[in-house]
Amino acid sequence: MEKEKPNSNMPYSLKREIGKLFMEYHDKRWTEIPTSEDKEELHFKYARKAIQILKNEGKVIAEYQKFAVDYHKKEFGTKDQEYRLLLGCGEELGELFHAHLKGEQKIRHTPKEILHKKKDSIGDLMMFLLNYCHTQKIDIMECLEIAKKELEKRKSK
């Protein structure tokens, strides 16, 4: 199980992948490349690789969305699909509230179990949201961009 780093906007797994890429670049830059022009070319090569890794994050969301759609169709069918998906969102949000409350009260579960319950609830909630967005033909990345722009406007006031 991957550990999350506090105050991070980028998933730990993505940071680790970019970090490995940086280390590879650093090793080659100082050991294999003789001229400054070659070092500059190497820099751009690795910068392009890093950009590609970040671009793939959108593809990852699409893969999760396809999985969520296929899974929910198989498990629940398509009758009242949107309604059931919204109920699922509510249920998972309730589970997240419950886990958070028990964590604050320090009862019933260890901190590690509470963290697992929170992550499980958030993951399930995301699956329901991804599927709901699919049924409504809503691009979830566009939703995130809209929300980000709205928050930036509020922050600057």
Print pLDDT tens along the chain (157 aa): 555 444 445 556 666 666 777 777 666 656 665 566 666 666 666 666 666 666 666 667 888 888 899 988 888 888 888 889 999 999 999 999 999 999 999 999 999 999 999 999 999 999 999 999 999 999 888 888 888 888 888 866 5
Q: Where are the domains of the chain?
A: 11-76, 78-157
CATH of span 78-157: 1.10.287.1080
Look-up: residue for tokens 């190497």? 42
Three state DSSP letters for 88-134: HHHHHHHHHHHHHHHHHHCCCCCHHHHHHHHHHHHHHHHHHHHHHHH
Write down the pTM of the prediction.
0.62
43 touches 25 (CB < 8 A):
yes
Report the C-alpha gap between 106 and 16 in whole angstroms: 32
Alpha helices in the chain (DSSP H): 12-31, 36-76, 81-105, 111-136, 140-155
